[in-house]
Structure 1
Amino acid sequence: MQSRLAYVEASLEVAKQSRSIFTRLYPESAIAAAIYADTLRAQKIAPLSPIAGLPVSIKDLLDVAGEPTLAGSTVLRNAQPAKQDAPVVTRLKQAGAAIIGKTNMTEFAYSGVGINPHYGTAPNPADTAIARIPGGSSSGAAVSVATGLCVAAIGSDTGGSIRIPAALCGLTGFKPTASRVSKAGTVPLSFTLDTICSLAHTVDDCITMDGIIAEDSLSITALPLKGLRLAVPQTLFLEDMDQHVSSAFSKALTCLSAAGAYIIETPMQLLAEYRSMAMFSAPEAYAWHRQLLAEKFGEYDPRVAQRIQLGAHVSAADYIDMHTARAEWIGHMRALLAPFDAILMPTVPIVAPEITPLIASDDAFFHANGLLLRNTGSINILDGCAISLPCHEHGSLPVGLSIAGAANTDGKVLAIARVVENTLAKIRSV
């Protein structure tokens, strides 16, 4: 078995040459964690954490003591250094993770595309012939795992920022109920919707990471697929699918149905109405950024600054009304979801677009961004939990299948994801 040290050293060597994946590396502490884990393994002193000594990355919006947290920007280069690690970082270190670096991201996490004009954009590893977006905003996080440099990555998800890159890069990304993981020590996008979470290769890997970073522990009971009632919303969420996504999603549903799950097509119009309440990010981001924007507007990614500034036009009364409407809507949604075990939908309706056209055209960029965020954003407004897992055939462009539920149904969603993943292995091996 490869030593932890050999793995970490190999990852660091590649990472040094991969400037668009990482914004900062931690070679000394990562190597020390790997050596310590290898020593304990050799001496068989005590059971080790599943990630002890293994390379893990953290998104560049998490505080690490002694350095400014950039959040994919240049405007924070001279900000005050963090006084202490974010609680999630502390938990990773306590578990013995070899944190090899901070990963690149969409500036201030404000898009699902993953393009960063300051530090470059790491191409999606799923296609070596065409440079495609990795998805965002946790772009470097996904690429660090998809390239094998890390076993898992910590990112964030405000409207889909962990599930979108997971879907586009062929990975598994889990967004827990937001309150389960501390957001302290992170640069916020939306105080209401931000969720700190992880992506990895498998459902079990995501369960492992959740057990490390979450404030509570889940009880995950094995479920049979047969008899599960899985709702497939027909309003909005299946629109504008490209042919490849449509085919992969259809095959996945057929496979699950053949294994005994009840696939229930339902309008679920109420879920689609989430978009009338989806303006939390702009006013909350503007509240945090307004002084920085006044001082350093020209240093922002123009596309990010444009979206943040929309928040200046949201009145306090409108903001309060949005919170009231959301709370009422969530109550109605919980009643609507009660007869079902989970919701199924394509994580995103398109495969990863090419990078160059999206850099060149604002229209192309914002059209793609809207499509990428459309399905995933509903679960953030719901305050729910969701996981994206691959459902495409081997060798084809990645497609993500989303399994979602209401708040605090995390254990059930993960149990369903585990059995769905095993069932879809038939498709994935083709």
Structure 2
Amino acid sequence: MTAHWTIATVRKALDEGKISSVELVSAAFTEIEKEGGEGNRTFIRTFKNTAITQAAASDALRKMNVPQGPLAGIPVSLKDLLNVAGEPTTAGSAELAKIAQPASADADIVALLRAAGAVILGHTNMTEFAYSGLGINPHFGTPLNVWDRQIGRVPGGSSSGAALSVAENMAVAAIGSDTGGSIRIPSAFNRLYGFKPSFGRHSLKGVTPLARSLDTVGPLANSVECCRIIDAVMAGHPVPEANLRSLVGKRFGILETIALDDLDVEVAGSFVRALETIAKAGARLERIKVDAIERFWDIAKLGSIVGAEAFHAHRGFLQGHANGMDPRVRQRLEVAGGISSADYLDMLDLQKDMQVRTHLATRNYDAVLMPTVAIAPPELKPILASDELYGETNLKILRNTAIGNILGRPAMTIPIGMPDGAPVGLMVMGEHGGDAVVLDHAESIDYVLRQ
């Protein structure tokens, strides 16, 4: 595997005979199994024999000129939330790994990926039960961020292994989940592209839940186009052609409310430089305040929708296996168990109000822009040593991305940090159901920023 494979470049190399799928998948496993590498912390389990067999079958079909799907022979990793027939799904939990039975069938989206020809490499590491934005896992190890390995920084979560599998050339693309930012955070932290679809866009059958009214599943990859292809496959739609549009006359809202508070200097600098480039390309940028976004803090005062629904999803497991859980995940679930039904319903009412009023404020913009994460990837060791710092950092990392989850909106993160500086992401958010539009604008913005 060479650096920064995309689906398009891999497909071209395969079609031209410059590489076979078996060679590609073997190279991925060479990276995964590299001594001293991040592979053993990036993957919880791999499906090597099956993957090589699938790759060989794809190569044989290609030699016979048999038409295949858009992901034919391309290695893809799956977060350890997605059922794979014949394999356990353990959600990053050592306790669950002791009792989990092999899945009887693929998750719906896994079946769609297979039908498109994807070669499934294995289950990637994650925060236990996906309940944190930091990506820390005390059971299977925490894969280190690609930036500043000497110091050691958090990978972002909860889809930590998904991001590292792509960033470390162990997979061409990865599938993660996003309930409060778990695709976009590790993507931004590792200089990747990540797409959170509109709530309800993809089937979640066969996906371990965290919060049923917020959960989404989407891709992490090396380009917007990669995310577009995978999103279409998982939605059961034909793969659309790339649709680069001029930014001249496009109207983008720069969300001031909450999203620009207390930014790291490097994040703020990269964000401003990106906006200047977008404006020079002809887009109209308008700073907007949306009072309804303040509902985010009103919801937080009552607990959290994620917490209430996560406790509902995992309370049975918590009762029987608490001692074997990540203590910080366990503690947050136990606190969430104290949220009353009245407070939960109030939070849902606040969410609905936030959705309706924000739509009225932003519907006339082509997209809303903001920093994906307010801070650069923090050092891992101090967070491991302090519960207080863990909580504060987790909240700050999740803040901007979680706005999109509460709104149920599609959002794409694209890398904008300086090559020799901290990884930084620019988030492009649209209206609910406007997934194709968000991907179009993100691709056009990314093209301008890369020139």
1:398-417 superposed matches below 5 A: 398-417=423-442
Structure 1 residue 74 corresponds to structure 2 residue 99: no
Alignment match, 2:33: 16
Conserved? CA contact 2:162–2:175, under 8 Å: yes
Q: Distance in 2 between matches of 1:280 and 1:217?
A: 34
Q: 1:186 is aligned with what amino acid?
A: V
Q: Give the superposition deviation at 1:222.
A: 4.3
User: What do residues 307-352 of structure 1 show as CA deviations (whole Å, max 9, x unaligned)?
Assistant: 1112211222222222223223211111111121111000001111
Q: Distance in 1 between matches of 2:240 and 2:368?
A: 20
Q: Distance in 2 between matches of 1:315 and 1:404?
A: 32
SS of residue paired to 1:75: helix
Q: Distance in 2 between matches of 1:56 and 1:81?
A: 20
Q: Give the superposition deviation at 1:219.
A: 6.2
Q: Report the CA distance shift for 1:310/1:235 in structure 2 as closer, same or farther (over 3 A).
A: same
RMSD: 1.5
1:355-366 superposed matches below 5 A: 355-366=380-391
2:261 to 219, 232, 239: 239
Q: Give the superposition deviation at 1:97.
A: 1.0
2:65 to 37, 40, 44: 44
Conserved? CA contact 1:180–1:216, under 8 Å: no
Q: Give the superposition deviation at 1:127.
A: 2.7
2:285 to 251, 263, 266: 263
SS of residue paired to 2:176: strand
Q: Distance in 2 between matches of 1:12 and 1:260?
A: 45
Alignment match, 1:292: 317
Structure 1 residue 188 corresponds to structure 2 residue 209: yes
Alignment match, 1:353: 378
1:49-198 superposed matches below 5 A: 49-77=69-97, 78-198=99-219
5+ residue gaps, structure 1: none
1:206 to 227, 249, 261: 227
Structure 1 residue 392 corresponds to structure 2 residue 448: no
Q: Distance in 2 between matches of 1:298 and 1:121?
A: 20
Q: Report the CA distance shift for 1:233/1:422 in structure 2 as closer, same or farther (over 3 A).
A: same
Conserved? CA contact 1:123–1:132, under 8 Å: yes
User: What do residues 235-256 of structure 1 show as CA deviations (whole Å, max 9, x unaligned)?
Assistant: 2211111111111000000000
Q: 2:259 is aligned with what amino acid?
A: F
Q: 2:382 is aligned with what amino acid?
A: P
User: What do residues 109-136 of structure 1 show as CA deviations (whole Å, max 9, x unaligned)?
Assistant: 0000001000001111233332111100
Q: Distance in 1 between matches of 2:444 and 2:294?
A: 27
Task: Using structure 1 for the length normalisation, give the TM-score.
Answer: 0.95
1:319 to 344, 367, 389: 344
Q: Give the superposition deviation at 1:44.
A: 2.0
Q: Give the superposition deviation at 1:186.
A: 1.2
Structure 1 residue 340 corresponds to structure 2 residue 365: yes
Q: Distance in 2 between matches of 1:383 and 1:215?
A: 20
User: What do residues 39-89 of structure 1 show as CA deviations (whole Å, max 9, x unaligned)?
Assistant: 22223222x333211111000011112333110001212133322111111
Q: 1:387 is aligned with what amino acid?
A: M
* Identical residues among aligned pairs (%): 42
Which shifted more, 167-176 or 222-231? Answer: 222-231
Aligned length: 425
